[in-house]
Structure 1
Amino acid sequence: MNRDAVRAYYASFGEREWGRLENPDGGAVEFAVTCHALATHLPLNARVLDIGGGPGRYTIWLAERGHLVSLADICPELLSIARNKISQAGADAMVEEVVEADARDLSHWADNSFDAVLSLGPFYHLPDPIDRMRAVSELRRVLRDGGPAFVALIPRYAFLRRTLAMPDERRHLAQPDFIKRLLEDGVFINDIPGRFTEGYGALPDEVSPFFEQHGFTTLALLAAEGIAANSQAALSELATSDPSTYQAARDLIMRTSSDPSILGMATHLLYVGRRSG
């Protein structure tokens, strides 16, 4: 992972990264599906690590529901936003700390420190398999036995769909090395500065086995945007024109998010697993 590039990418977002998860044309459905999974699988009054938590949207959601949260990210600019948002929400008492940390090195915390861990971003910035193994090992180390982990990933074909959607990136589709690297190894490399410069695209069939090989029992694998992965603009319009139908559509998306037939064309995947042994 190019740590500086990832930092710069998210620093450029600023407040937009905070707002993304409430925007029907952005990440509102992803947020709803993820929060439903959290509500389903989190123990009561848990001590939670939110690694890669950025501006703190999930940290605040957790704190407001009685969980004691530590927020970590590699981007100082997003952490500054998080501190302000946490204070504005009156959630300081339930947020233990807001610290800069890398998902591959959680040595700031002792073994078995948390009842649950969120990693909603770091894994898809780790194209090197050694880095992914370090990240999952660290995640498991700080998680108590039996505790749930919530990990976001990007499916492999989402990177192809993204490339097709970007006029100045479409040339990559005619570059054999780009296609071979992505389809065979899941490695996405973008040569346009300031963009999502490198990442890892997972194959849905390989997600659960990967985590199971590293000491987890799979509880769920979800398409975070579900059937709306390519229809965010329509959802946004519906949210304004017909709020009740918009809510019904969101409910349908959550009900069908675990359907294996839609996982590969999702924009984000959410793996939920329990530390075993």
Structure 2
Amino acid sequence: MSQFPEQHDKVAQHYDFILDFESVRLSEYFPVELAITTRYIQKYIPNCAIVADIGVGVGHYAELLARRGCLLYLVDITQQLLDATLTRLRTKGLEQQIQAINRASVTNLECFENEIFDAVLMLGPLYHLCTLEERNQAVNEAARILKQGGILFAAGINRLTYLRELFREFPQLASARKEFHQQFLQDGNVDPEHAPPIGLAHLTTVAEFRQLFENKFEEISMLGVESFTGAFQKSLTELPESEVEAWLDLVEQTATTPEGLGMTDHFLYIGRKRVEF
């Protein structure tokens, strides 16, 4: 019997199925997301920090942190992603930076003691928690395992990206999905039938995402990592380095504005655990 709730198992199966795409998703299709997130990790997570990377993907950020001397604790509900990250770091000669690998849910991190991490990354798990109770559990677990003043990186998906992609690819479905869309605008939840690329998922709003963290964390930054580049960010891979950096500077300059947050695909919340006296 699985150690996870049924919905979490379905998410794990989804990532097993799309592993090949996930292996190249950031580098080939979403380079702005990768580059801007990297900039902020470099800015707010110091060298040699103790970091829990929860929802490791294929290890892009784990590799970045390992190269900076960080000690890594890797967590995912998908064994194939954990294996891919281990292989990535082993191939790069960085395996010694891995302190532990755990197949676990972000809602239950009993594998970790209280207040042991300088930073926690949740760059994906919150997408797939379809109830507020689960999302609160994840945030509470992040706060529990972080040291006082520790840093949280958490990603969310802009609710309107589903509607944009449907309008772009299947505009004839608006009437047929009218009832679903009214519910979606209220709860932000999608499923494999309506959004096959992401499966069971929760898409959020700026206000909702901010509110999720306010009791446990002080906000450092809330940004739209793609800002205006949105669905066109693959163009970045075709440019010379000087143009790449110029565009990334513009993305970063606009990422925290209402306009940048409104146009982005992904929100990135960076917060500091509130100090309790």
Fold-level similarity (TM above 0.5): yes
For residues 1-277 of structure 1, the aligned pairs below 5 Å read 2-23=7-28, 26-167=29-170, 171=173, 174-191=176-193, 195-213=197-215, 215-237=216-238, 239=239, 242-276=240-274, 277=276
The one-character-per-residue Cα deviations of 1:65-108 (angstroms, maximum 9, x if unpaired) are: 11111111111111111111110011111111222111011000
| Residue type at the aligned position of 1:184 | Q
| Conserved 8 A contact 1:47-1:114 | yes
1:190 Cα deviation after fit: 3.5
Percentage of matched positions with identical amino acids? 31
| 1:98-127, Cα deviation, whole Å (9 max, x unpaired) | 221110110000111211000000101111
Partners of 1:65 and 1:257 in 2: how far apart? 25
**1:5 maps to amino acid:** K
- 8 Å contact 2:31–2:233 — kept in the other structure? no
Normalising by structure 1, we get a TM-score of: 0.90
- AA of the residue aligned to 1:234: S
Give how far 1:31 is off: 1.1
CA distance in 2, matches of 1:87, 1:173: 50
Query: 1: CA distance between counterparts of 2:169 and 2:108?
Result: 33
Contact residue 55 and residue 85 of structure 1 kept, 8 A? yes
- Partners of 2:172 and 2:200 in 1: how far apart? 16
Tell me: CA distance 1:243–1:194, structure 2 relative to 1, closer, same or farther (3 Å).
same
Once the two structures are superposed, residues 164-200 of structure 1 have per-residue CA deviations (whole angstroms, 9 ceiling, x without a partner) of 3444x96266423311121112122341696422211
* Alpha-carbon distance change, 186 to 173 in structure 1, aligned in 2, over 3 angstroms: farther
Secondary structure of 1:145 counterpart:
strand
Once superposed, what is the RMSD of the aligned Cα atoms?
2.0
* Distance in 2 separating the partners of 1:193 and 1:21: 19
Structure 2 runs not aligned, ≥5 long: 1-5
Is the CA contact 1:178–1:188 (under 8 Å) kept in the aligned structure 2? no
